[in-house]
Every structure is written in structure tokens, then in C-alpha cells.
């Protein structure tokens, strides 16, 4: 199956020790079976250290150290597995992060915004609708008749219409897909009940108000690109038109959440907006429970 990616995808490069929010801190890192076998075959040197760092309880995973740090993260913020035995020995999660995949009639790869560097790249890339073939993957057509990629393209056409502003584009999308959020109460209740990776983020997300939106052109450009990213990630694999609408409502809520936070935190620069987008992504997109709860709210 052909593999496609957004045109900005190839520009991404992990900045490792220069990252202000390392993905090697705060996440439980599962070890896939193939990589576990490779670790077990390492009999000498750092292989013994790797073996001792893996817990076999439930899904094999690295035992986190103080501060929820990966045991293979050195004091400089670099990966000791890469330094000692090579990048080929990274487990699937570490090798793929922050990538995600869509599988329809073709395969697509994207970058998740929980990574601050990916967030900065996505929010600074105006050509969000174009993809390019970058290779092939071993996968099959999902067999779903509904064309989520075409439906996604329809939304992108509205967002790219220069004859109307961003606010009008949002209004048209909500009207065309009969999306009405009602008051903020139910969403605030969900945000309050969610499980958070960082407890400090709860107070931040609870500042949400659908009535608070920025007016600056640059901030709205960031929001448009954020919404396009969300739609690419969450709407593409929709099973039918109703499912697409539910997923789209979720994307519009997350866009509204970021819009509200831009105002409450007075975020103006790319770096400031990207930091907030990364928090929204980390706390919502990377939790199946949180994502499902917010999608159900829009049904």
C-alpha cells in the first residue's frame, strides 16, 4: 500500500536534548516483542543494562526512574540505547514517536502535536492540504465505502476559501455539518473529570470558554492549521458520514479549546501557541479515554 504524508512531514527532525519537553519523561514506554527479542540477544555490555531495566509485568515496559524518566535517558537528555548500541535497537514506540498512521484506501502518516517541535512545524506550515507519496507499507485497504479523505478535502476547501475569513469558515463548517456545542457546562465537566499526565494542566484546560477567541490574523492562522491537523488525524478513518460528523465535532471542540487558551494565556508567538497546542494534544489526543469522552459529548 502506498504511504503518503503532509508536504511538511520530511522537514521534521527530533531535536533530542534541545527539546523543552522530552518524550522520554512522563510516559510509560512499552517494549514490542520483536525489539524485546533483540534486547535478549544482547549478551554483553549495555545489553545487560537494558535487560535489567525492563519489567515483564503485563506488557513489557521500561521501569521509569525518579521523575518518571526513562532509565536510558542520560543527564544531557540523550538516549543511551542509541549511543551504546545504535538507533536500530529502539523499540517501536521510541522509533515512531510522534508519528501516527491513517489506513483507508491508502496509508498516511502524520506528526502528533504532543511533540513541541512537531507542533511548531505544523503551525508554521500553511500548506496543510497537500500530501506526497513517501514510500510503501505492508497494509491492506480497510474496505470502508465512506471516503474520509474526500470528506476531509471538502473541509479543507472551506478553510482555504480566501473570499471569507476564518470565523466565517468555522460558521459554515458548523452549519453544513449541523454541529451545535450548546453551553460549555458538559465540556467543562469532562475536562474536570479527565485523567491528566500533568496535574498542572487541569487548571489550564478548565479555563475553557467557547466565547473567548483571539482576533489577531496570525493567531487565527495558527488555529486554522491546528484544526486542519486535527481533521487529518481524527476524521480520515471515519466509517460513515455520521461518524465523520462526530469526529469533526471533536476537532472543532479542541480548536475552540486552544482558541480559548490563546486568549487566557495571552499567547501571540508561534512558540507560545505551539506550547499550548502541545498540551492540548498531550492531555486529550494521547488518552483514548479522554478522546472518547469528548467525542461522545458531541454526539
pLDDT bin (cut points 50, 70, 90) of residue 43 is confident
- Number of structural domains, the chain? 2
275 and 161, same domain (yes or no): yes
What value does the mean pLDDT of the chain take? 93
DSSP element (H, E) containing 156 = helix 148-159
Q: Which pLDDT score is estimated for 158?
A: 96
153 and 257, same domain (yes or no): yes
pLDDT bin (cut points 50, 70, 90) of residue 58 is confident
Would you say how long the chain is, in residues?
299
Q: Distance between CA 243 and CA 230 in Å, rounded?
A: 15
pLDDT per residue as tens digits for the range 133-148: 999 999 888 889 999 9
For the chain, percent of residues with pLDDT exceeding 70: 99
Its domain, for residue 230, covers 148-297
Sheet containing strand 107-111, strands side by side: 99-103, 107-111, 2-6, 131-136
182 and 250, same domain (yes or no): yes
Specify the pTM: 0.92
Residue 139 lies in a domain: no
Residue 18 lies in a domain: no
Q: Distance between CA 36 and CA 182 in Å, rounded?
A: 49
153 and 291, same domain (yes or no): yes
pLDDT per residue as tens digits for the range 5-32: 999 999 999 887 787 878 888 888 999 9
Residue 128 CA, distance from chain mean position: 15
**Residues 4/126, Cβ–Cβ less than 8 Å:** no
Residue 115 lies in a domain: no
Q: Which pLDDT score is estimated for 142?
A: 83
Q: Which pLDDT score is estimated for 24?
A: 86
175 and 240, same domain (yes or no): yes
pLDDT per residue as tens digits for the range 245-271: 999 999 999 999 999 999 999 999 999
Please check the confidence at residue 127 and state whether its pLDDT lies above 90: yes
| Mean pLDDT, range 222-227, rounded to an integer | 98
Amino acid at each position: 500500500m502506498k504511504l503518503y504524508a503532509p508536504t511538511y512531514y520530511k522537514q521534521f527532525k527530533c531535536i533530542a536534548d534541545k527539546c523543552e519537553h522530552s518524550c522520554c519523561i512522563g510516559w510509560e514506554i512499552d517494549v514490542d516483542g520483536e525489539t524485546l527479542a533483540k534486547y535478549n540477544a544482547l549478551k554483553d555490555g549495555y545489553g545487560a543494562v537494558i535487560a535489567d531495566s525492563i519489567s515483564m509485568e503485563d506488557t513489557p515496559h521500561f521501569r521509569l526512574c525518579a521523575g518518571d524518566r526513562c532509565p536510558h535517558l542520560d543527564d544531557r537528555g540523550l538516549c543511551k540505547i542509541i549511543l551504546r548500541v545504535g538507533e536500530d535497537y529502539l523499540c517501536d514506540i521510541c522509533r515512531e514517536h510522534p508519528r501516527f498512521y491513517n489506513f483507508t484506501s491508502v496509508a498516511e502518516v502524520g506528526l502528533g502535536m504532543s511533540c513541541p517541535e512537531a507542533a511548531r512545524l505544523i503551525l508554521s506550515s500553511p500548506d496543510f492540504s497537500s500530501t506526497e507519496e513517501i514510500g510503501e507499507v505492508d497494509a491492506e485497504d480497510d474496505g470502508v465505502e465512506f471516503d474520509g479523505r474526500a470528506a476531509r478535502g471538502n473541509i479543507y476547501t472551506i478553510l482555504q476559501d480566501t473570499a471569507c475569513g476564518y470565523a466565517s469558515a468555522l460558521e459554515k463548517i458548523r452549519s453544513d455539518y449541523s454541529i451545535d456545542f450548546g453551553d460549555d457546562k458538559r465540556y467543562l465537566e469532562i475536562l474536570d473529570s479527565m485523567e491528566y499526565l500533568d496535574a498542572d494542566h487541569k487548571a489550564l484546560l478548565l479555563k475553557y470558554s467557547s466565547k473567548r477567541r483571539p482576533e489577531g490574523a496570525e493567531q487565527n492562522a495558527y488555529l486554522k492549521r491546528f484544526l486542519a491537523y486535527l481533521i487529518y488525524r481524527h476524521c480520515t478513518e471515519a466509517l460513515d458520514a455520521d461518524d465523520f460528523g462526530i469526529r469533526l465535532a471533536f476537532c472543532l471542540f479542541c480548536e475552540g479549546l486552544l482558541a480559548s487558551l490563546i486568549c487566557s494565556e495571552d499567547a501571540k508567538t508561534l512558540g507560545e501557541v505551539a506550547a499550548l497546542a502541545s498540551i492540548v494534544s498531550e492531555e486529550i489526543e494521547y488518552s483514548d479515554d479522554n478522546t472518547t469522552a469528548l467525542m461522545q459529548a458531541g454526539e
